[in-house]
Structure 1
Amino acid sequence: MRAIVVGAGIGGLAAAVSLRRAGHEVTLVEQTPRFTELGAGIQLAPNATRELRRLGLLDTVAAQSAYPSHISFRSWSDGLEICRYELGREAEDTFGAPYLQVHRADLQQALAAAVPPASVRLDTVVVGVDQDAKSACVVTGDGEVLDADLVVAADGIRSAVRQWLFGKDAAVFSHTAAFRALLPAAEVADLDLPDTGIWLGPGRHFVHYWVRRRELLNVVAVATADESAAQESWTARAEPGEQLREFEGWSPTVLDVLERAGQVFRYGIYTRTPLARWNTGRITLLGDSAHAMVPFQAQGAAQAILDAAVLGDCLADAAPTDVPEALERYVHRRLTTATGMQARSTRAGAEFHLPDGPEAEARNSRMAAHAAEHRFLPVATEWAVDPLNEPKPEPEPT
């Protein structure tokens, strides 16, 4: 069976690998002329790394990753620890797969290496999709028509295929923007940083963790923002000192990290409104095109990888005539979970950004009480879910 995957981000590459492992011929279409090192850190919880293992890629990705031992939530002004959760070996033993922190480019490279170059069409813009009862196709900017038995649209948060299938609905601004930077480990060696840290404050939060075998510190500083000043771009530079002004009054440790960051990028964070369905006939959405979410539960990439795994599972042993029904099963198995994670991530952002006072104090008390009883983050209930192997393992109750 022939499949076309539109978009070579994390979700599209994972879909191409998953469909190839299911025995199908895949053409991966990407508009950029080459794979580039965009973005920075990605956290891969056990629900994602479990699927990377099934794809035969976990060892390759893990060799380029950092293995965090714990995650520490801290107060914005004084750096006092609110609570701490285990990651590392305890998480791997409980959930059957590791928690990894990886540079996006390293993950992309591992996935891309599993797709034969002859199957990849770079520098190819898709300007339309179509289908009938027996086949589907994409139309390129050069007027070429590429035929297949199904089309998977993994073309990101600004998905054109989504609009062609379901009508126009603009990306939704989250009223937050993020400052992003990578610092060499030597630049922060004198700072007493937790292994993985999330610092919570009024209208802002600050995240840091290691990537690339702990050689680099990934930093993401999120602040409330107006849409007019929040460009959606991986390559837009922040103004000199802008990140320090946004986080004025924060813990000296946070300010030290932000001050030492050399090249700082700033991007607006957008989401998409949940859809009632992702598929029409032989065409379906996957990843951010279907369920783009704010990154406050570290599950965006994981949910795209899970989409790819379930898609391949639903299409295993499928014939061309089975495609519409198989895509129905794929969406049925994934839509509720991914949409729920969208909502959960949004709620987490609101909790992180509570103003000082009774609400923040109550949040801190809830977090500390939960951590006193449970080893793992509340979202770890999702890490236990294995959609390809029921019944799924369960962590301790939350």
Structure 2
Amino acid sequence: MRSVHEGDRGGSGHRGLAATLCLRRAGCEVTLVERTARFTEVGAGIQLAPNATRVLRRLDLLDAVAAQAARPSHLSFRTWSDGAEICRYALGRAAEDAFGAPYLQVHRADLHQALAAAVPPRSVRLNTLVVGIDQDDDSAWVTTASGERLDAELVVAADGVRSPARRWLFGAEEALYSGTAAYRALLPAAEVADLDVPDYGIWVGPGRHFVHYWVRPGELLNVVAVFRAEAARESWTARAEPGEQLREFEGWDARVLRVLERVGQVFRYGIHTRAPLARWNVGRVTLLGDSAHAMVPFQAQGAAQAIMDAAVLGDALAGVTPADVPAALDRYVRLRLSTATRVQAGSARAGEEYHLPDGAEAEARNARMAAHAAEHGFSPQSTAWAADTPEEGTPGTQAAS
């Protein structure tokens, strides 16, 4: 069976590559269509919870990714003003034992390289812009900017938060600005060696939160500083004005300010989402990843949920005939939509909790977090980590989530 897969627009890549690998594993002949002239990945960190790393293991890529990744022992939540620890949640060996796979923090380029190396060059069409998707009862196809038609039994669109495929399937609907923007940067280890900061920390405060974690152990610290803003451009390459991040986080704990002071190149991007859909597929065409369920990144599950989409889609298609593709896509959406929508809503709630003003509400939040950590050990978001892919050899079924 032949699949045309439209990858992430702008070359972000890992969602499209993961989907290609999962479809190939299911026995599909895949053509991955990318608009960029070459695969690229922006210089930033990405977190891979056990639900995602289980899929990487199924693809025989976990060892390659883990070799370049950090494995934090815990997550430390801290208060914005003085850095006092609110609570800590277990990760490391405890999470791996509990959820069956490691929690990894990795440079996006390292993840991208591992995925791209596993895709045969013949399966990729670079520098190819898709301008339309269509179908009939027996096939589906994409039309490129050059007028070429690429035929297949199904089309999978992982074309990002501003997905044209979503518009073609379900009508015009704009991406939603979340009301938050973020600064991001990478720091060499030497720049933070004298600072007393946890390996993985989230500092919460009124209207803002600050995240840092290692993406290459002992080499690079990834920094993300989130703040409320009336408007912000959605761009991974837009640079912040010099010193802008310090003005935005004025008054925060001295360690946070020192990190923000020492960053070199700082990027600023607006965080956008999409409204939940009642379905992701029409006939032989389906959405995957951000095109279906773009979410704020406050539970570090955006990439993981896309990787889960890819795995479940592959399992749903394994062994089906071309005539059964629409039913298989229905099964994929039925298995994934409720989980992804729940994580999408949970991520938005997490941002609201992080940004509470000082006072009774923030104190109650801190007490809840400390009590949950003492009782359960793992963060509330770990419920998403337990949502597994279908078991080996049982296409179309899914473990309880």
> Does TM-score exceed 0.5, indicating one fold?
yes
2:68 aligned to 36, 40, 64, which one?
Answer: 64
Aligned-residue CA RMSD (Å)? 1.1
Structure 2 regions of 5+ residues with no counterpart? 392-396
Question: What's 2:352 paired with?
Answer: 350
Tell me the secondary structure at the aligned position of residue 30 of structure 2. strand
Q: Does 1:26 align with 2:27?
A: no
Determine if contact 1:72/1:197 at 8 Å carries over to the other structure: yes
How many residues align? The count is 392
Question: What's 2:6 paired with?
Answer: 6
Question: What's 2:47 paired with?
Answer: 43
Cα deviation digits, residues 277-307 of structure 1 (max 9, x gap): 0000000000000000000000000000000
1:199 aligned to 185, 196, 203, which one?
Answer: 203
Kindly tell me: are residues 130 and 269 of structure 1, through their superposed partners in 2, closer, same or farther at Cα, counting changes over 3 Å?
same
Question: What's 2:381 paired with?
Answer: 379
Structure 1 regions of 5+ residues with no counterpart? none
- After TM superposition, the structure 1 = structure 2 runs for residues 353-372 of structure 1, keeping only pairs within 5 Å, are 353-372=355-374
- After TM superposition, the structure 1 = structure 2 runs for residues 33-182 of structure 1, keeping only pairs within 5 Å, are 33-182=37-186
Give the whole-Å Cα distance in 2 for the aligned partners of 1:391 and 1:111.
24
- After TM superposition, the structure 1 = structure 2 runs for residues 297-376 of structure 1, keeping only pairs within 5 Å, are 297-376=299-378
Letter in 2 for 1:365: A
How far did residue 36 of structure 1 move?
Answer: 1.6
Give the whole-Å Cα distance in 2 for the aligned partners of 1:308 and 1:143.
28
User: 4+ runs of 1 displaced by more than 4 Å?
Assistant: 390-394
Letter in 2 for 1:345: S
Determine if contact 2:44/2:222 at 8 Å carries over to the other structure: yes
Of the structure 1 ranges 34-43 and 355-364, higher mean CA displacement relative to structure 2 is found in 34-43
Cα deviation digits, residues 117-161 of structure 1 (max 9, x gap): 111111100000000000000000000000000000000001000
Letter in 2 for 1:322: D
Give the whole-Å Cα distance in 1 for the aligned partners of 2:223 and 2:199.
12
Give the whole-Å Cα distance in 2 for the aligned partners of 1:330 and 1:377.
28
Letter in 2 for 1:80: A
Determine if contact 1:39/1:234 at 8 Å carries over to the other structure: no
Cα deviation digits, residues 83-122 of structure 1 (max 9, x gap): 0011001111111100000111111111111111111111
Give the whole-Å Cα distance in 2 for the aligned partners of 1:118 and 1:251.
52
Kindly tell me: are residues 391 and 329 of structure 1, through their superposed partners in 2, closer, same or farther at Cα, counting changes over 3 Å?
closer
Letter in 2 for 1:149: E
Identity over aligned pairs, percent? 74
Give the whole-Å Cα distance in 2 for the aligned partners of 1:154 and 1:392.
24
Determine if contact 1:50/1:96 at 8 Å carries over to the other structure: yes
Determine if contact 1:10/1:304 at 8 Å carries over to the other structure: no
Letter in 2 for 1:67: R
Give the whole-Å Cα distance in 1 for the aligned partners of 2:294 and 2:400.
27
Question: What's 2:189 paired with?
Answer: 185
Give the whole-Å Cα distance in 2 for the aligned partners of 1:286 and 1:391.
18
TM-score by length of 2: 0.96
How far did residue 213 of structure 1 move?
Answer: 3.1
Tell me the secondary structure at the aligned position of residue 379 of structure 1. helix
Of the structure 1 ranges 249-258 and 104-113, higher mean CA displacement relative to structure 2 is found in 104-113
Kindly tell me: are residues 177 and 387 of structure 1, through their superposed partners in 2, closer, same or farther at Cα, counting changes over 3 Å?
same
Give the whole-Å Cα distance in 1 for the aligned partners of 2:378 and 2:164.
38
Letter in 2 for 1:4: V
Determine if contact 2:139/2:152 at 8 Å carries over to the other structure: yes
How far did residue 393 of structure 1 move?
Answer: 7.8
Of the structure 1 ranges 85-94 and 290-299, higher mean CA displacement relative to structure 2 is found in 85-94
How far did residue 214 of structure 1 move?
Answer: 3.6
Tell me the secondary structure at the aligned position of residue 83 of structure 2. coil
Of the structure 1 ranges 199-208 and 62-71, higher mean CA displacement relative to structure 2 is found in 62-71
Q: Does 1:16 align with 2:20?
A: yes
How far did residue 39 of structure 1 move?
Answer: 4.4
Give the whole-Å Cα distance in 1 for the aligned partners of 2:352 and 2:30.
41
How far did residue 37 of structure 1 move?
Answer: 2.8
Give the whole-Å Cα distance in 1 for the aligned partners of 2:382 and 2:248.
31
How far did residue 11 of structure 1 move?
Answer: 1.7
Give the whole-Å Cα distance in 2 for the aligned partners of 1:308 and 1:50.
12
Cα deviation digits, residues 325-359 of structure 1 (max 9, x gap): 00000000000000111100000000000000111
Question: What's 2:238 paired with?
Answer: 236
Determine if contact 2:181/2:229 at 8 Å carries over to the other structure: yes
